[in-house]
Chain A
Amino acid sequence: MWSYLLRNLLQRLLLLVLISFLAHAVVHLAPGEPSEVDPSNPRMKPEDIARIRAAFHLDEPLHLQYLYWLRDLVTGELKSFKDSQPVLPKIWRRFLNSLPLFLCATLIVWSLSFPTGIHAAIRRGSLYDRTTTVLAYAFISIPGFFLSYLVILWVVHTLNVPVIGMQTFGMENAQPFYRWMDRLWHLVIPSFMSAIAGIAVLSRYVRSQMLEVIGQDYIRTARAKGLPEETVMYRHALRNALLPFVTMFGFLLPALIGGSVIFEQIFAWPGLGRLGYEAILARDFPVILTLNFIAAALTLAGTFLSDILYAVVDPRIRLQ
């Protein structure tokens, strides 16, 4: 098993380098360079552009640029093209902003989807099942950004409270208690809005998974043994139905980076998703590439974790 893990880890490292190289090439393939972001600016002279290109090594061959980027990333010297700020601390600060939103949304999704889906499966065809089915399809179909705007409009109009940003403007000097309550309130709507589609999709998935397991022969065996229905459902069925969701834990990791680009944009949340979006608009290659690198690393780590977890929870799977 250990040799499997080691081999797998090495493969993933190699893959990570490959991904970063490809991403680097792709970003440079896209039209536009940092020097061309503002071509209509009359004060930008050709020699200025040449100077900018030289300063950012943009006049050198691609593979050398890649090596420069890799060297700077490893030594921590990497700086943003836009404001010459070091990239890693910049990302870290934004990450700390994104983290509460991500945690809240994920917690809401996972804690609501499972009970919803499981109950719908157990009471298949009931009013509860049909209601949740309709709601789920409604929330899958309505675009999240549209619903968010509706909610913002409604909250601002009827409750007259601010919802945009991480905190209300002017609250910086308030007492800590009020400041914290304000930040908490600002967290509520964005996290619910970004969780809604997730709940709709995941609860459907849980329901169908549970229904499939309930139809299995071993569930009939469990009933024939004289076990109470709760034991049959929550021990024999649920344990099997949950297996595929273990893999989904792995996919949660990369969502840390790109999970909420849209919602951070809508709610003016200074998080990682928005950082990436702004970096792309500004052709800020170091930031784009580093975010991409971290996302790739998290994806690979996540799938690695899934493989291990799968072997832990499913006795039929052995890592070799």
Chain B
Amino acid sequence: MATGKRPLLAVSDLRVSFFTDRGEAPAVRGVSLAIPPGQTVALVGESGCGKSTVALAILRLLSDPGRIVGGRVVFKGQDLVSLPEPALRAIRGKEIGMIFQEPMTSLNPVFPIGEQIAEVLHVHLGLPKREARLEVLRLLEKVGIAPAARRIDQYPHELSGGMKQRVMIAMALACQPDLLIADEPTTALDVTVQAQILELLQELQQELHMAILLITHNLGIVAQFAQEVHVMYAGKIVEHASVHPLFQHPLHPYTQALLKALPRPGHRAERLAAIAGTVPTPFQYPPGCAFAPRCPEVLAHCSMQEPSCLEAAPCHAVACWLYAGSVQR
């Protein structure tokens, strides 16, 4: 939306539901977002808002009972939702890489890490063993695993959490993808390691000119890392803007509350503001705007009708009744 360039990935009206014994749980309810080439777009929200589900749905990696029930995911002109499985496999790991929240459990415990990285090179580039090994050594060095020659034959349990995430990054970037989906890449790591991993991602992004979809609940990371932000709540995007406008003038009461909950240097004495209430479950969303029961500025008709996401300021969209009057048409 922000740029005139054609987006690398365009998600439109994506809907995902989990079909359980308790009924259908719509975890993602019509999410649209666009990722321009080479840029970082962040998707933020509390746990359970459906942001990881969006990430998995893009590559159709949802496991039972989750299913895409509507929408399109257009990547380089192809709709990934309707793409046949073999064609999709050719994109997974080659043109779109993905790293996950839990590096501890995301690597197969019974294979050496080098072998797990080489697998990607073998399946997508058809590299023979010897060449794949050389390439793996190069990749390991690139993601800062030293000495690569010794580490390449080690098993995941012999590596620290940060190291494992570096291995995951090496694996995701082995084929130099155009897009990296990073699903909470630093959540499970120590703060110092977090910074290192983010720095590494930033370096590699510049080198490979790839776009990143960064999924996180950490607004601090968003501020220093992303160009555009989508704020997600209860399976929907409630606000979308570039980083600066969003942090300077957050429009949606939810975004405002999130930012108030962020510790700030220099404001030590202040108590951090928590958001009252809890995140609604996908089984039972409140009627109207899902944030209405927790909203400090709730209006009378908020819980009756759902607001749609409209541009309230240039390149700044928000789904809230407070701005219904200032909508630019």
List A residues at the B interface (Cβ < 8 Å): 124, 215-218, 220-229, 231, 236, 239-240, 243, 313-316
Contacts and interface: CB of A to CB of B under 8 A. Distances in A.
A226 B120 contact: yes
Contacts of A239: 108, 110-111
The 8 tightest CB contacts between A and B, nearest first, are A226-B93, A226-B92, A225-B93, A217-B105, A218-B108, A315-B155, A224-B98, A217-B106
Given A217-B106, A224-B97, 15 more contacts: A218-B108, A220-B61, A221-B100, A223-B61, A223-B92, A224-B98, A225-B120, A226-B93, A227-B119, A236-B111, A239-B111, A313-B110, A315-B109, A315-B155, A316-B155
Contact of A224 (B93, B111, B155, B157): B93
19 contacts: A124-B64, A215-B63, A218-B109, A220-B106, A221-B100, A224-B61, A224-B93, A225-B120, A226-B91, A226-B123, A227-B119, A229-B85, A236-B108, A239-B108, A240-B109, A314-B109, A315-B155, A315-B157, A316-B157
A221 B63 contact: no
Contacts of A316: 109, 155, 157
Contact of A220 (B90, B97, B100, B111): B100
A226 B106 contact: no
B123 A221 contact: no
A226 B124 contact: yes
- Secondary structure at the B interface, as helix, strand, loop or mixed, is mixed
Interface residues of B, number: 33
A222 B123 CA distance: 11
Interface in B115-148: 119-120, 123-124
A316 B112 CA distance: 11
A244 B291 CA distance: 48
Nearest to A314: B110
A302 to B, nearest CB: 23
The CB with the most chain A CB atoms within 10 A, among B61, B106, B120, is that of B106
B54 interface: no
B94 interface: yes
A221 B157 contact: no
B226 interface: no
A218 B89 contact: no
A315 B157 CA distance: 9
Contacts of A231: 119, 123
A225 B99 CA distance: 10
Contact of A240 (B102, B108, B172): B108
Nearest to B60: A223
Interface string B276-313: 00000000000000000000000000000000000000
A316 B90 CA distance: 32
B181 to A, nearest CB: 9
Contact of A217 (B91, B102, B110): B102
Interface string B219-254: 000000000000000000000000000000000000
Contacts of B97: 224
Contacts of A236: 108, 111
Contact of B171 (A215, A220, A225): A225
B107 interface: yes
A239 B111 CA distance: 9
Contacts of B108: 218, 221-222, 236, 239-240
Contacts of A224: 59, 61, 92-93, 97-98, 100, 172
A66 to B, nearest CB: 47
Nearest to A240: B110
B168 interface: yes
Contacts of B109: 218, 240, 314-316
A221 B106 contact: yes
Contacts of B157: 315-316
Interface string B72-100: 00000000000001000111111001101
A217 B100 contact: yes
Contacts of B120: 225-226
Interface string B29-68: 0000000000000000000000000001001010110000
Contacts of B63: 215, 220
Interface in B165-179: 168, 171-172
B105 A218 contact: yes
Nearest to A224: B98
B105 A226 contact: no
B75 to A, nearest CB: 14
| Most chain B CB neighbours (cut-off 10 Å) among A215, A220, A224, A239 | A224
A225 B110 contact: no
B66 to A, nearest CB: 12
Given A215-B63, A316-B155, A225 B92 contact: yes
B138 to A, nearest CB: 18
Nearest to A220: B61
Contacts of A216: 105
A239 B155 CA distance: 15
Nearest to A225: B93
A217 B89 CA distance: 18
Contact of A227 (B98, B100, B110, B123): B123
B90 A218 contact: no
A233 to B, nearest CB: 13
Nearest to A228: B89
A243 B111 CA distance: 13
A313 B111 CA distance: 10
Contacts of A217: 100, 102, 105-106
Contacts of A314: 109-110
A292 B128 CA distance: 55
A208 B292 CA distance: 44
Nearest to B110: A239
Contact of B89 (A215, A226, A240): A226
Contacts of A221: 100, 106-108, 168, 171
Q: Which of B93, B98, B110 has the most CB of A within 10 A?
A: B110
